[in-house]
Amino acid sequence: MRQNNNGRTEVLQDLLVLPSGKWTFRAHLLVMVLSGNILIDSLEVSVGILSLPAISDSFQTPLSTAQWVVTGFALGFASFLLLGTRAVAKYGSKPVYSTFLLIFAVATVVGAAAQTPEVLIATRMLKGACAAFTAPTGMSIIAETFKRKNDRYKATLIYSLVAGCGFTAGLLSIGILGNISWRLAFLVPAPVVVVLLGIGLFVIPSRTSELRPESRLRGIAVTSVIFALGLVLMVLTLVNPVSVGRQSSTLCLVFALTATCILLLIRLSKHARNSSRILGNHQFIWTALCAFTFNGAFLGFLIVLGLYFQSGLGLGLIETALRILPVTAPMVAITLVSNSLQKWLGNIRLIMIGTGLAVAGYLYLLVLGLSDNYWITMFPSFCLIGLGFMCAFAAFHAQAVSTVGASDWATANGLYQTGVQTSATICSAIVVALLHAPVGEMADGIGDQLAWGTGLLGAVAIGILSMGASIAGAVSSQRLMASKI
């Protein structure tokens, strides 16, 4: 280690990259650990979605309870992202990364062995919270450890490629192992995380940036917990109208609570010395809202598909996974060329193309309807939606962070990711509420296409909202650029 003129601790470049430009073994291990962790996080989402019918049958619970396996993970992720960023800034990468990887592994084992849905749901929320501390740290470590542009680009490409494989890997793992038991599919990440943790203790740098002991961690932690409770109330309000009520006053109150918590999280973050720069940045807020609806529509759509194939058509997990694969497979291919596409077309054009392709796929399937004629009614729409998602999703993020200054990038990135994960919580609950029936009843009522159509319509409506908002945002951006010329 050595100190630069500003007093910041840096990792010596020659520990990772030789003078010839070749990476050392330590560099390969570091990227492997970081990439493996983000792969596990992506895998958790797809495993949760496809396991809903099996979990519902195992615990004899309705869909309104089983859906917490999906929304709970996203809820924990969304609620503690900004806290995770600040914890790393205060305590350093290695202690935070290692601690929460260990907790993640323990929660994985406990969840796989859970005998009640409450224990399983609690572990899913805890794993989401752990991901909030580890996932954002990966890119930060890469950016600050690999000083040379070419090395940083190579590491980022590997990291993004593996992340793109995560969702597909989750589909295949639950498809293969789920036929034995859904518990086995949930248990698989535990030994992998333990191996990553063991290697990470030796290769993850203790400090990757200047520590900030003045961070207001206590205030952010309290606000994060309140934000999590607000999201819990919101999901309960949406999926359990009988017990909680779907009155407009209740929803307005819960929405106001969660929105207030987001504002408090921004105010308490020391990354943005003048948080009004982000709150007043209409381009950033608009792009984040578009990404919110876009991601929510995609996950809601996958939930409908997973339930329909298994509960509606009676297919097994491996058949369901293979049928959904065309939706997620483009993630791997697009990742390899995403940087070139962004340079060639620009973020705004990519967003327009991506949302247009996705909505075209949604509408194609909505018009023809869900049926067992896979190659005519479903496969074309799946390809369109998959391509659209991968064109637009990365572009949304790039566009959002490009609208803020360098000093506000960390807070803006955390806020953006918080919004994306919040969409997975809220929009998934909306789709489940529209399905409005236990999984077992849907399996018995295969002829009742109304429930499936209503759930699909909800996902499509959210997707159309995203496209409309994206168009409005693009027009606004063009006008703003024209006014500056």
Both ends of the chain: CA-CA distance in Å? 47
What is the three-class DSSP state of 2?
Answer: strand
Whether residue 252 contacts residue 383, with contact meaning beta carbons closer than 8 Å, is answered with no
pLDDT of residue 450: 56
| Cβ count near 239 (within 10 Å) | 25
pLDDT of residue 412: 76
Query: Which residues, in sequence order, are CB contacts of 330 under 8 Å at separation 6+?
Result: 383, 386, 387, 389, 390
Whether residue 110 contacts residue 123, with contact meaning beta carbons closer than 8 Å, is answered with yes
CATH classification number, 16-204, choose in 3.40.50.720, 3.40.30.10, 1.10.760.10, 1.20.1250.20? 1.20.1250.20
How buried is residue 253: exposed, middle or buried, by Cβ count under 10 Å (0-12/13-18/19+)?
A: middle
pLDDT of residue 328: 83
- Which of 343, 304, 335 is CA-nearest to residue 453? 304
**Amino acid code (one letter) for 254:** V
State the DSSP H helix or E strand holding residue 10, giving kind and residue range, or none if neither: strand 9-10
Q: For the chain, which residues score pLDDT lower than 70? A: 1-21, 207-216, 241-280, 332-336, 339, 406-407, 410, 436-453, 455, 466, 469-485
pLDDT of residue 216: 66
How buried is residue 60: exposed, middle or buried, by Cβ count under 10 Å (0-12/13-18/19+)?
A: exposed
Cα distance between residue 78 and residue 225, in whole Å: 11
How buried is residue 241: exposed, middle or buried, by Cβ count under 10 Å (0-12/13-18/19+)?
A: middle
Query: Residue 433: how many CA atoms within 13 Å on its side-chain side?
Result: 20
CA 52, 58, 62, 67 torsion-angle sign? negative
Query: Residue 288: how many CA atoms within 13 Å on its side-chain side?
Result: 22
Cα distance between residue 466 and residue 394, in whole Å: 15
| Cβ count near 19 (within 10 Å) | 7
Cα distance between residue 107 and residue 103, in whole Å: 6
Fold of 278-485: Growth Hormone; Chain: A; (1.20.1250)
Q: How is residue 452 written in tokens?
A: 């499936």
